[in-house]
Chains A and B, each alone.
Chain A
Amino acid sequence: MMIPFFLILPLGNAFVTVLIAKADERLQDLFAIFTTLSLFIIALFTLMSVNAAPNHLLLYRTTGFLPPEGLALVVDGLSVFMLVTVNLVALFVAIYSSGYMKKYTDKWKFYALFFLMLAGINGVLVASDIFNLYVFMEIAAISAYFLVAFGTEADELEASFKYAIMGSVASCFILLGIAFLYAHTSTLNMAGIARAIAASGATRVLQLVSVLFLMGFGLKAALAPFHAWLAYAHSSAPAPVSAMLSGVLIKALGIYAIARIFFSIFGASVQICQILIALGVLSMIIGAVLAFGQTDIKRLFAYSTVSQIGYVVLALGVATPLAFLGALVHIFNHSISKSLLFLTSGSIERLMGTRQIDKISGVIRRAPATGYPALFSALSICGVPPMGGFWAKLIIIFACVQSGHPILALIAALVGVMTLAYYFKPMTCVLFDVGTDASIVMKKACIAINTAMVSLAVVVVIAPFILMPGIRKIFIDGAVAVLMNGTSYANIVFGAIR
């Protein structure tokens, strides 16, 4: 069984990195890249074994007791989809960090925190117990607070403090929700909770818990009324950290947890779906409006994340098989493209010494290894055919029309046009030489940084191929089936025990 290695490898790396803190930096770099590479390979193997397993579910018992009493790690189609995405991004971020983090002292502290965060994210995805999910979420979140403040400049400390306060309030709401849920169902196991709720039917306690979880996980996912911290935190953090936060952290802690709890455990009611649609539309519009007029490229990318997360939540709320497919394809595309954008923004800042849009010019001519990845990832997020983002948005718009929400389809299309509009400004300065720029002195490029960006750009370019029937059947259809099955998750888990 390979499931425990998703926790053992990053946790082990974090502690061993602290032990070899005094050793050569290149040893730490190699160790980090080796760990993330093995994690990605294990994720691919797990994908194969999930597809081969009966009911497409793997269960690993950590104690002699059986669930719902004992703890277990559970991987199904949705978890393994997220695991592959997370560990793919983490691999390229680790390669990038080995070059980029040289400008900070104490690189080993970065690696230790980075792998603790990765362990937390992987733990959220394999947890089968709602309190375990909370603990792993806190591990990931606390490491993220530290990583945002890694440079200890005034901006970073302020962003980290605001993120930490908002995140702690959200965690308290989630823990209170878990307390009410335990008092109602007398179990913390997700499948057990699902069975108890199915037996008791919809009650008022469930409504209270839904509201508490929507507030808590909505804040972690940066949905519209709770999005304020994201722009500060994601724009102030070091570039590889921004890539991890924007690319995978908010999706694992926010979107995955919402999907798992509201679809697999509570069974999405019509009201919850309507709330998700409303939150999604609000995020899409607010994120796109705020992204206009930003002069800092990282701030612009951060607001764009709020807008794109809105698409995913909107598609989850529409809740048809086609909409789920669109949501998952958009999660994958946005993870790799937005991580790549943040990585290139870090490279631009490193080479040109600025993040202000009006001071950057001619990136593609001066540094093609930074310019072309930035261009491809921006095209993918804007939804320019034939990039991956185009297909994701097209599927979401079709799903809205098909399920009888033409107005939502119209809004999604309009926000797509707005996305193209606000990416116009940063991409102009990447593509063309604008203004007088003789003052810009370019620093020397770094091989590790360029390798990471170019190889991730290749992944972004070939990303549309996940929609090909063969790959789609293995990679995405299992996740769609999990979302469609809803509360029969409990029966599948209890079926896997026997």
Chain B
Amino acid sequence: MITYFLCLVLFSIGLFCAVRKRNIIKIIIGIGIMEYAVNLFFILIGYRAQGRSPILARDQAITNIVDPLPQAVALTAIVIGLAVMLMLVALAIRIYERYGTFDITKINRLKE
């Protein structure tokens, strides 16, 4: 039970990092932590105590295997997370070229 709880604590740390930090690189790291926490949560959902890997083979009785579906979901989510992360980092590089700073409070040309 404590594992699930700690996983959600990790999610909250990522959320805090994404909404409270001023450096845009730290914000991106916060988004990454959130994504990892959700992926970890998916794997935890699929975990069964003493479960074996979910491979179906001939002459094998299926007893107590881990749930393979959350693993597939987590794989897909990792790929999506990679795409988002790449794009955010690319944007951060271009923003640094334009504004000369990583401070989100100084990147506010649109506020006027």
How many B residues touch A, CB cutoff 8 Å?
Answer: 34
Query: Smallest Cβ distance from A231 to chain B, in angstroms?
Result: 8
The answer to whether A161 touches B95, judged by C-beta atoms less than 8 angstroms apart, is: yes
Interface 1/0 per residue, A144-161 and B, CB below 8 Å: 011001001111011111
Complex Cα–Cα for A135 and B14 (A): 21
Chain B residues with CB under 8 Å of A232's CB are 110
Within 8 Å of chain A (Cβ to Cβ): is B98?
yes
The answer to whether B76 touches A131, judged by C-beta atoms less than 8 angstroms apart, is: yes
The answer to whether A172 touches B35, judged by C-beta atoms less than 8 angstroms apart, is: yes
Within 8 Å of chain A (Cβ to Cβ): is B13?
no
Residue on A nearest B70 in the bound complex, by CB: A182
Known contacts A172-B34, A179-B41; is-contact A157 B84 (Cβ 8 Å): no
The answer to whether B95 touches A145, judged by C-beta atoms less than 8 angstroms apart, is: no
Within 8 Å of chain A (Cβ to Cβ): is B69?
yes
Query: Smallest Cβ distance from B100 to chain A, in angstroms?
Result: 11
Known contacts A157-B98, A161-B24, A176-B38; is-contact A169 B15 (Cβ 8 Å): yes
Which residues 61-77 of B have a CB within 8 angstroms of A? 69-70, 73, 76-77
Within 8 Å of chain B (Cβ to Cβ): is A138?
yes
Known contacts A154-B99, A154-B109, A179-B41; is-contact A135 B87 (Cβ 8 Å): no
Other-chain contact of B110, A145, A164, A236 (Cβ < 8 Å): A236
Residue on A nearest B34 in the bound complex, by CB: A172
Query: Smallest Cβ distance from A290 to chain B, in angstroms?
Result: 13
Known contacts A155-B110, A169-B15; is-contact A146 B87 (Cβ 8 Å): yes
Query: Smallest Cβ distance from B24 to chain A, in angstroms?
Result: 7
Complex Cα–Cα for A142 and B31 (A): 14
The answer to whether B87 touches A154, judged by C-beta atoms less than 8 angstroms apart, is: no
Secondary structure of the A side of the interface? helix
The answer to whether B91 touches A161, judged by C-beta atoms less than 8 angstroms apart, is: yes
The answer to whether A175 touches B77, judged by C-beta atoms less than 8 angstroms apart, is: yes
Within 8 Å of chain B (Cβ to Cβ): is A183?
yes
The answer to whether A135 touches B31, judged by C-beta atoms less than 8 angstroms apart, is: no
Other-chain contact of B83, A142, A154, A155, A160 (Cβ < 8 Å): A142
Other-chain contact of B18, A149, A153, A169 (Cβ < 8 Å): A169
The answer to whether B91 touches A164, judged by C-beta atoms less than 8 angstroms apart, is: yes
Residue on B nearest A131 in the bound complex, by CB: B73
Interface 1/0 per residue, B1-35 and A, CB below 8 Å: 00000000001001100110000100100010011
Other-chain contact of A168, B84, B95, B98, B108 (Cβ < 8 Å): B84
The answer to whether A169 touches B19, judged by C-beta atoms less than 8 angstroms apart, is: yes
Could you tell me which A residues sit within 8 Å of B by CB distance?
131, 135, 138, 142, 145-146, 149, 152-155, 157-161, 164-165, 168-169, 171-172, 175-176, 178-179, 182-183, 188, 232, 236
Q: List 17 A-B contacts (CB under 8 A).
A: A138-B84, A142-B80, A155-B110, A157-B91, A158-B95, A158-B109, A159-B110, A161-B24, A161-B91, A161-B107, A164-B87, A165-B18, A165-B31, A175-B77, A178-B73, A179-B41, A179-B42
